[in-house]
Each structure stands twice: as C-alpha cells, then as structure tokens.
Amino acid sequence: KAGVTQTPRYLIKTRGQQVTLSCSPISGHRSVSWYQQTPGQGLQFLFEYFSETQRNKGNFPGRFSGRQFSNSRSEMNVSTLELGDSALYLCASSLARSQETQYFGPGTRLLVL
C-alpha cells in the first residue's frame, strides 16, 4: 500500500504571497492531520480533517486554513506568508480517530524569503 504523499516537496515563496500544499493519505484512511515543524517551536499541530470536516484546530492564526475532499485528499493554505512560516509541513493520515496510528508523509519544506 502506498504511503502518505505530499506535494510539492520543496517550495520557495516571498513574503505576502500565499501557498497551497497537498496531501494524499494512505488508501482507506479518512483522517488527515497537519503539523508544522520548525527548529524553534518543534512539531506543532495545525488541524485535523475527518470526512471533509475540520474536527480539531491548533493554535495558529487564521492565515492557516485547510480542507479535505471526498476522496480524503487534503490541502492546506497559508495566506500572506511571513518569514516565520518557513518550516517543514507534515501531513499524517490514520484510519479513524481514536487509538489509531498516524502515518506521516515526507513533508513539504517551505522557505519564505
């Protein structure tokens, strides 16, 4: 079974721009979560989608948003990029919500100049 895939793998943007990242979960997985990884803040939860609905959200500004499609693929969008948004963005999928292991994709490395 194919793992979690994320596109693009690398991205360079400038301040003020917006960006959309994509995540395809493992086949059959309905829950998709997004995390941000930075050297200073570590791994932080952004949001989780399940059956096209946002079920949980971390402590990030409204510039960070996401959605999930009927095939469970998910996108996250960051508007009005700031230098501090430079990070590795990780997507994770799981079968359902409770007691299930989250499997991570390789991440999208975003650099904001």
Partner 1 sequence: AQSVAQPEDQVNVAEGNPLTVKCTYSVSGNPYLFWYVQYPNRGLQFLLKYITGDNLVKGSYGFEAEFNKSQTSFHLKKPSALVSDSALYFCAVRDPGANNLFFGTGTRLTVIP
Question: What is the pairing mode between strands 108-112 and 103-104?
Answer: unpaired
**14 or 38, CB closer to partner 1?**
38
Q: Please give the Cα distance from 9 to 45 (Å, whole number).
A: 19
Residue 76 makes contact with partner 1 by CB under 8 A: no
Residues 46-65 that bind partner 1 (CB under 8 A): 48, 50, 55-56, 58
Helix (H/G/I), strand (E/B), else coil: 84: helix
CB of 8 to partner 1, least distance (A): 14
Residues 14-33 that bind partner 1 (CB under 8 A): 31, 33
Length of the chain: 113
C-alpha neighbours within 13 Å on the C-beta side of residue 112: 18
Residues in touch with partner 1 (CB under 8 A): 4, 6, 31, 33, 35, 42-45, 48, 50, 55-56, 58, 90, 92, 94, 97-107
